[in-house]
Structure 1
Amino acid sequence: MKEHFPFISWRQLVFCGKKDSITGNIMLDDHPKNLSYFQGERYIFTQPHNINIENSTYHRGYSWKEIMENL
């Protein structure tokens, strides 16, 4: 995160396993199940385990650069 999003402080990051209690504006995750609970803007980071999953409620990013360009 620090390399690609240097403007985001460590104080603004939350790492957790169960994400159904997270609120905010944007969530970036590689598991669709975590995005399903989120009410804000959703981004799925493409990985081998989610490449064939389609969902119109989130944006797909294939690289950090692409995600940054779409934010």
Structure 2
Amino acid sequence: MKRIAIDMDEVIADFNSKMIPIFNTRFNTQISLADLEGVTIQQLRPDIKEQVEAMIGEAGFFADLAVIPHSQRVIKKLTETYEVFITTAAMEFPLSFDAKFRWLAEHFPFISPMNIVFCGNKSILNADYLIDDNARHFEHFSGEGILFSAPHNKQVRGFRRVNNWLEIESMFSL
């Protein structure tokens, strides 16, 4: 059975819909999703990078992210044909483990806890496909990287790209 590894943030969990309003309130600014084209918030505002990362690193930050449309249904269908793992680079924000685990249990209860991988460098993953919004994870990944579109990766080329879960559904002929 082929394996699909799926990233969490900006692939199944809508990070930006929470991050942008909280960022704007906390730092008294007005950025929009369009402002993040080609950059992360930390790259957009390097002057407050440490404060932004501390905010993201708060224990409950990831607890109530919205679910990316169609991801639940499509991933459920994928599990009928593929071995599916949720793989999140949580080592950057270690206090996020509990919130991310609980979020996955709530929104993706059909994914076994044994198929949830908290890691740093995703090159350790042994899968046929990795669906991720960050192309750096494909660099040493042995399978095929599939780039999930996000504002920060609009300029990235060289990988098969999907814009939403309906395209993934079509790609895997579900």
TM-score range for the pair, normalised by the shorter chain length? 0.7 to 0.9
1:5 correspondence with 2:106: no
Distance 1:5 1:14, change over 3 A: same
Three-state SS of the structure 2 residue aligned to 1:44 is strand
Corresponding residue pairs, total: 69
CA RMSD in angstroms, aligned pairs only: 1.8
Moved over 4 A (4+): none
Whose relative contact order is higher, 1 or 2, with alpha carbons under 8 Å and at least 6 apart?
Answer: 2
Give, in whole Å, the separation in 2 of the partners of 1:31 and 1:13: 18
What is the distance in 2 between the residues matched to 1:20 and 1:39?
7
Letter paired with 1:32 = A
- Is 1:23 the counterpart of 2:93 in the alignment? no
TM-score between the two structures when normalised by the length of structure 2: 0.36
Q: CA deviation at 1:40?
A: 1.1
- Unaligned stretches of 5+ residues in structure 1: none
Aligned counterparts, 1:26-37, within 5 A: 26-37=129-140
Could you tell me the percent identity over the aligned residues? 26
From the two aligned structures, give the one with the greater helix fraction: 2
Structure 2 gaps, min length 5: 1-70, 80-109
